[in-house]
Amino acid sequence: MNNDVIRLGIIGMSPTNMASTFALLKDEPDLRYDIAAVCTRRQEVLDQCMQQFDVPFGTVDYRELAECDDVDVVCVFTPDHLHGDHCAAAIEAGKHVVCTKPMVASLEEARRLVDLVREHGVKFLVGETMRFDRQFYMAKKLFDDGDLGELIAIESYYVHDLRAVFELTPWRLTVPQDFLYGGCCHSVDAIRAFAGDVDTVHAIAIRGNLVEGYPLEDNFFLNLKFKSGVIGRVSGLYGIIHPPTPMMQVGIYGTRGSLQTEFTDNEPGQVRVVLDKLVDHKPLVADFEPETDLSAYGLGAAVIRYMRHFQDCLDNDLEPVPGVVESAKTMAVIAAAWESIETGQVVAAFNEF
């Protein structure tokens, strides 16, 4: 696909959701993406998107977009519970896929997509923006270069008072969204990038009751044991008043050093490292200025990076990261966490994809 225009079809396009960020791709000189088709269920939103983003083809039927001959890559930005069917339609039509997180909302759907990707031989990327933040890149390089030594323990939290988000995207209340899948996937994916496959999960949960009518637990603690023996912890708190902390954090504890990295949408970030070889053990600090743009959530820089990665995978026949198998393993950890919450037991995570 080198030098060819890569034609995108976006399912779930809206001027007010993450898909709107794809309009920024045209301004990147090294990227060859063109939005060729959009799909949304409401005709008035479809008309607005086609006009605002100058898109030649639109439909209210996701199957029609998936089968469109003028589309090379289908990008899925619909509510979580629809991802499985929308991705499956694209794969079965022979299209490559970029899907926003979470990949799906059940272990069964994860297995289905893994099987379909293998059967049809397409590329599949899950748009985990946290993996493509500058702070994450720095932490991963320090870890991969051996500066932190052998991994002992790892943790991550994602804390977000979601009441304002409910107002912007009411489907989260009416469906309702499962925040163990839709929220904790960020942190589970992030620590799996360092520690690998999870062996067992123990989880607890409570409902915050801050949003009237929301029926599910929305605050979670997960304790993880990895196949390597490393221990891990994930905190996902969404039914809370936002505390005086960054929105997201990853902590890495190794035999040569420890690291903390922090992320908040549209705000400054930081990486702090303590290396054992430095006698005073004072933290080395790297500050990151905020990356902002005019898209709905201001995450354009991370989206541009993951779409640059995806273009490289298309051009050079590489496996996208996180791809369908890695993301399925993250979904399996979430499924095990729900089982643990319901049974009170330690639950084995499924990894045999």
The single residue listed with the structure tokens 């893994």 is: 114
* Strand duo 33-39 + 57-59: pairing: parallel
Cβ burial, residue 243 (10 Å; 0-12/13-18/19+): exposed
* Strand duo 6-11 + 33-39: pairing: parallel
What per-residue confidence (pLDDT) applies to 298? 73
Q: pLDDT of 215-236, one tens digit each?
A: 999 999 999 999 999 999 999 9
Q: pLDDT of 305-317, one tens digit each?
A: 999 999 999 999 9
Q: If pLDDT is split at 50, 70 and 90, which confidence band does 47 have?
A: very high
Query: Is residue 285's pLDDT more than 70?
Result: yes
The single residue listed with the structure tokens 């990151």 is: 288
Q: What is the DSSP letter of 58?
A: E
Closest-CA residue to 102 (of 131, 66, 128): 128
Q: pLDDT of 242-259, one tens digit each?
A: 999 999 999 999 999 999
What per-residue confidence (pLDDT) applies to 18? 82
Full set of structural domains in the chain with CATH: 6-128+301-322 (3.40.50.720), 131-297+330-348 (3.30.360.10)
Cβ atoms of 273 and 155 within 8 Å: the answer is: no
Cβ atoms of 8 and 34 within 8 Å: the answer is: yes
C-alpha 158/C-alpha 156 separation (Å) is 7
Q: Average of pLDDT values for 200-214?
A: 97
Q: How far, in Å, are 89, 108, 331, 335 from residue 96 at the CA level?
A: 11, 21, 20, 26
C-alpha 137/C-alpha 47 separation (Å) is 38
Query: Is residue 2's pLDDT more than 80?
Result: no
Closest-CA residue to 7 (of 31, 40, 29, 42): 31
Cβ atoms of 55 and 41 within 8 Å: the answer is: no
What b/e string do you get for 119-149 counting C-beta neighbours within 10 Å, with b at 16 or more? Answer: eeebbbbbbbbbbbbbbbebbbebbeeeebb
Sign of the dihedral defined by the CA atoms of residues 164, 110, 185, 285, in that order: negative
Q: pLDDT of 12-33, one tens digit each?
A: 998 878 888 899 999 999 999 9
To the nearest 10°, the Cα dihedral for 180, 181, 185, 188? 60
For the chain, the average pLDDT equals 96
What per-residue confidence (pLDDT) applies to 14? 85
Q: pLDDT of 159-171, one tens digit each?
A: 999 999 999 899 9
